[in-house]
C-alpha cells in the first residue's frame, strides 16, 4: 500500500537493528565502495554519503540521492557544499577522499551502532576490552578512511575497497 510504504534504507535498518554484524557490515561496505569507485573513475563525487542515502533495491545496497552527484572539484571549479553533520569531511566536499571519509563514518555507525560524531569511541560494553579480530581489522580501515588529514586517507573508494577485500580474504568471509 503506497500510503504505508517506507523505503528500506540503511538508516531505517540501523534504527530497527541498532547495528549490523561485522561480516554484514563488511559486505555492505564492499558493495558501497565499489559503487563509489565507479563514480570516482568517471570523475564524479557523491557529496552526502550517509545511512539515509543508502537504499536497498531487491536486497542490494545502492547509493541514493543521486541529485547530489557532481563532477569532482578541479582547477577553477568549486563544488557546492552539501554537509550532513557527523559524515562530512573536515575539508568539505569535492574530492574522492571526502567521499571516502563519509563512507568510513557510515561503516563506523553500521558496525558499532554509534553516532558518527563519536568516531573513535567504542560502545560502553566494549570499552577496555579487546574487540573481536574482524572488528579490530575493520577499525584499522576506518582509521585510514576517516583521518582528519585528507592526504593520509585512502585517495579513492577503490583503494578503500582493496583494504576491505584483504579483510574479507583474511577472514574467509
Task: State the residue for C-alpha cell 537504499.
Answer: 55
Secondary structure of 130-154 in HEC code, one letter for each residue: CCCHHHHHHHHHHHHHCCCCHHHCC
Q: Which residue carries 557544499 as its cell?
A: 81
Catalytic residue (one of 1, 31, 48, 130): 48
Enumerate residues 6+ apart whose C-beta is below 8 A from 36: 46, 49, 63, 96, 99, 100, 103, 157
User: Is 4 one of the annotated active-site residues of the chain?
Assistant: no
d(CA 173, CA 168): 5
CB neighbours of 32 closer than 8 A, spacing ≥ 6? 49, 54, 61, 63, 103, 106
Q: Please give the positions annotated as active site.
A: 48
Amino acid at each position: 500500500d503506497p500510503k504505508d510504504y517506507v523505503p528500506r534504507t540503511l538508516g531505517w535498518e540501523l534504527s530497527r537493528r541498532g547495528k549490523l554484524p561485522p561480516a554484514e557490515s563488511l559486505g555492505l561496505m564492499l558493495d558501497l565502495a565499489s559503487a563509489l569507485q565507479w563514480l570516482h573513475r568517471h570523475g564524479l563525487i557523491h557529496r552526502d554519503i550517509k545511512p539515509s542515502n543508502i537504499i536497498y533495491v531487491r536486497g542490494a545496497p545502492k547509493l541514493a540521492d543521486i541529485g547530489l552527484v557532481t563532477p569532482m572539484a578541479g582547477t577553477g571549479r568549486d563544488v557546492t557544499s552539501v554537509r550532513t553533520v557527523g559524515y562530512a569531511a573536515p575539508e568539505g566536499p569535492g574530492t574522492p577522499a571526502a567521499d571516502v571519509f563519509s563512507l568510513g563514518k557510515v561503516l563506523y555507525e553500521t558496525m558499532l551502532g554509534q553516532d558518527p560524531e563519536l568516531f573513535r569511541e567504542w560502545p560502553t560494553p566494549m570499552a577496555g576490552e579487546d574487540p573481536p579480530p574482524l572488528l579490530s581489522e575493520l577499525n584499522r580501515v576506518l582509521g585510514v578512511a576517516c583521518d582528519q588529514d585528507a592526504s593520509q586517507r585512502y585517495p579513492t573508494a577503490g583503494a578503500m575497497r582493496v583494504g576491505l577485500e584483504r579483510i574479507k580474504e583474511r577472514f574467509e568471509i
